[in-house]
Structure 1
Amino acid sequence: MQKNSNKFGNILTNLKIDALNEMQEASIKANQEHKDVILLSATGSGKTLAFLLPVLERLKADNKKTQALVVVPSRELALQIEKVFRQMTTGYKVTACYGGHLRETEENNLIEAPALIVGTPGRLGDHIRRGNIVTDGIETLVLDEFDKTLELGFQEEVGFIVESLPNVKKHILTSATEGVDIPEFLVLEAPARLDFLPEDGNTAPRLELKQVLAPENDKVDTLFRLICHLGNRSTIVFCNHREAVERTSKMISEKGILNTFYHGAMEQRDRDVALTKFRNGTVNVLVTTDLAARGLDIPHIRYIIHFHLPHTEDSWTHRNGRTARMEASGTAIVVLAPDEKLMSYLEEEQVSTIELPEKAVLPEKPKWVTIFIGAGKKDKVNKIDIVGFLSKKGQLKKDDIGLVDVKDFFSFAAIVRSKMSFTLELIKNEKIKNKKVKIDMAK
């Protein structure tokens, strides 16, 4: 099983991975031997690399056309895949296209055809109709999380995309759940089917299941006490509706829990800020809808709290897939009001009950804060520039600077909370690459 780990040695080194896992090895082999492949594997098991490496094997350096297309259900998943491919350092150009991103920026990125394009159905269809994506060179089509991509509302657009690709020679479909029907417009030829899903289909073996019984139907106070009990650990709180997300976030904020919220109706920049703060540890609690149940590649999430019960078993599976990823452990906690019962697909003996202490003690504030910098990739600013700027002009040591996230037109950097005021005062009138930019606390 070491053959491909050796073959892709430099790429794995760039990704800080020692070796490919069994599922990734099987995917590479199946894609070498079969025209079409369906890969079923749990969220967090490494599916992205399991299809990107077979895609890479098919790319030709002397072909200047777009050669591969990856269709995904969310912008976050598109960005994650783009990021992984860039980190692989293959020499091939990649770009992501998704709703909420400036179309003009994407159009500029598409002028020189990327070898690989990753995107959401609506935006990809738009670019194809406008002629921004030339499809005749695309020979590999990947539908990642295809069960979600093909849900009602995406079918028509995905159908249009498939019909617009006249020369596809390989299909790769991936999913973390089984039982989805493959539509007729997706004509697969004797596809190889790889099933690496856990046998029970529900939970990874490293995932603990717990419940908290709220004394009243208004569960916010129980949620507050639960978060206090869990301490300063990375936690996602799932609600079923956008309005409930904002209301719940506000109510626990008023009780002293530092948190941020995230849902599909937010402006893209606000979504970027929320995810950046959660990813870099500026806040440890993210209140969200099922939008965050797929595609968010945030390591070390310790707790999943189902504040609202998931509508479906599929939703339950994907929510829980945010934790217990790869070799880590995690805990899924269901908060039950007096008139609520555990979902029918859970057996009571699987689930232990958490008894909350009477007195709630607020967790310590996180170590980090996030600053906003009004310059990004399009200003030729990269992570090294920002770290250098904060070190020299802001007098920060290496350990004082956390994750740096560079977007197209702005960037975020995590810095130690204790040095925030001093550093902001030092850098507020300084220039980055000879350009005066706005620098402030990220709102």
Structure 2
Amino acid sequence: LTSATEKVKIPPFVGIKKATRLDFLKNNNVQLQIISVVSPDRNKFNTLVQLLKYNTHGNGIIFCNLKDSIQKVSDALTRDKIDHACFYGGLEQLDRERALIKFRNGTHRLLVATDLAARGIDVPAMDFIVHYELPPTEDEFVHRNGRTARMKTEGTAYVLRWKQETLPEFIKGAEEISPRSTKEEKVRKWKTLYITGGRKDKISKSDIAGLFFKQGKLTQEELGVIELKQDCSYVSVVSTKYKELIETLNNSRLKKKKVRISLLE
């Protein structure tokens, strides 16, 4: 049993009476940098957009406390043409799964989420996380931060606060900055394609890669992450090639199955 916090009790049904406690943080240099970002506006939208455009690199999660906040942040990012996915408890299971697929494969480098994404989901370590809204408790602060700076890698936790807000006592030692205008990072954009064939059809990742390399004429740099499910598959490709690939590869055969290929919206 592992946990980022110590308030986890071992369930009685496990039958363990004397557990041995291992502290993996002992004698370990934490590579997490905590930065407080001051916003002149109460809604913090402009500050968030500036931060994402000019001060962050790689993949990150933007944490909100409420579903309504996620929608408002999503609208602000959409207005500024910043690709992202949303993740919260009110979404259908399939929508949550597809949001994570597109986040993992690079179609979206940002995930706007509630604390549901702070633990228990299958995503790699983040380059950064953003506390768009201050976490209600220290435990949530720790779990959110646990999405970055994992396994001795470096990471940054940005805490957005309105200039009249005071940081809670459990957020200590944060460096304070205002977003700076620098050259915007240019990143390769990806699209996710949906394939109507999966494990039950005995289709493998190498089968899909072969199709996209041979018939789709993609290079290794143009083919991204492939995820196999029981009855379907998802593959990320460079955004400049997805229309051509759909026209060329739709109704192709993988193993003995004729598959349809379409854009995952």
Could you state the TM-score of these two structures normalised by the residue count of structure 2? 0.90
Of residues 40, 52, 70 in structure 2, which corresponds to 1:215? Answer: 40
User: Where does residue 277 of structure 1 map in the other structure?
Assistant: 102
Asked if residue 397 in structure 1 is aligned to residue 219 in structure 2, the reply is yes
Asked whether the equivalents of residues 200 and 231 of structure 2 are also in contact (C-alpha less than 8 Å), the reply is yes
Cα separation, 2, equivalents of 1:293 and 1:206:
18
Task: After TM superposition, give the deviation of residue 204 of structure 1 in Å.
Answer: 6.3
Judged with a 3 Å threshold, the aligned counterparts in structure 2 of structure 1 residues 204 and 408 are, in CA distance, closer, same or farther, namely: farther
Shift, 1:421, TM fit: 2.3
Q: Does structure 2 conserve the Cα–Cα contact (< 8 Å) formed by 1:284 and 1:366?
A: no
**How far, CA to CA, are the matches of 1:176 and 1:239 in structure 2?**
20
TM-score normalised to the size of structure 1? 0.56
Question: In the alignment, is residue 341 of structure 1 matched against residue 166 of structure 2?
Answer: yes
Give the structure, 1 or 2, with the largest relative contact order (CA under 8 Å, sep 6 or more): 2
Indicate the structure (1 or 2) with the bigger Cα radius of gyration.
1
Distance 1:374 1:336 in 2: 45
Q: Identify, as 1 or 2, the structure richer in helix.
A: 1
**Contact 2:59–2:128 at 8 Å: present in 1 too?**
yes
Aligned equivalents of 1:441 and 1:204: distance in 2? 43
**What is the count of residue pairs matched by the alignment?**
265
Within 5 A, what are the aligned runs for 1:234-313? 234-313=59-138
Contact 1:390 1:396 (8 Å CA) reproduced: yes
State the shift of 1:368 in Å: 2.3
Q: Pick closer, same or farther for the CA change 1:377–1:204 going to 2, 3 Å.
A: farther
Partner of 2:20: 192
Q: Which residue of 1 aligns with 2:239?
A: 417
Q: 1:190 to 1:295 in 2, by over 3 A?
A: same
Residue type at the aligned position of 1:254:
R
Given the superposition, is the C-alpha separation of residues 183 and 300 from structure 1 closer, same or farther in structure 2, using an over 3 Å criterion? closer
Is 1:352 the equivalent of 2:180?
A: no
Unaligned ranges ≥5, structure 2: none
Change (3 A) 1:412 1:193: same
Instruction: Tell me by how many angstroms 1:183 deviates.
Output: 5.1
Contact 2:55 2:179 survives alignment (8 Å) = no
CA contact (8 A) 1:232 1:284 kept: no
Contact kept? 2:201, 2:257, Cα under 8 Å: no
Distance 2:70 2:91 in 1: 12
Secondary structure, in 3 states, of the residue corresponding to 1:372? strand
CA distance in 2, matches of 1:378, 1:435: 11
Q: CA deviation at 1:293?
A: 0.7
User: What residue in structure 1 maps to residue 2 of structure 2?
Assistant: 174
Alpha-carbon distance between aligned partners in 1 of 2:112 and 2:78, rounded to the nearest angstrom: 11
C-alpha contact 1:225 1:360 (8 A) present in aligned 2: no
Write the letter of the residue equivalent to 2:19: P
Listed one character per residue, the Cα deviations across residues 301-321 of structure 1 (whole Å, up to 9, x for unaligned) are 111100011111111111111
Deviations, residues 109-165 of structure 1 (Å, cap 9, x unaligned): xxxxxxxxxxxxxxxxxxxxxxxxxxxxxxxxxxxxxxxxxxxxxxxxxxxxxxxxx
Show structure 1 runs of 5+ residues with no match.
Answer: 1-172
Q: What's the RMSD between the two structures over aligned residues?
A: 2.2
Change (3 A) 1:275 1:343: same
Quick one: distance in 1 between partners of 2:256 and 2:14? 52
Q: Provide the C-alpha distance between the structure 1 equivalents of 2:110 and 2:206, rounded to a whole number of angstroms.
A: 29
CA spacing shift, 1:232–1:352, aligned 2, 3 Å:
closer
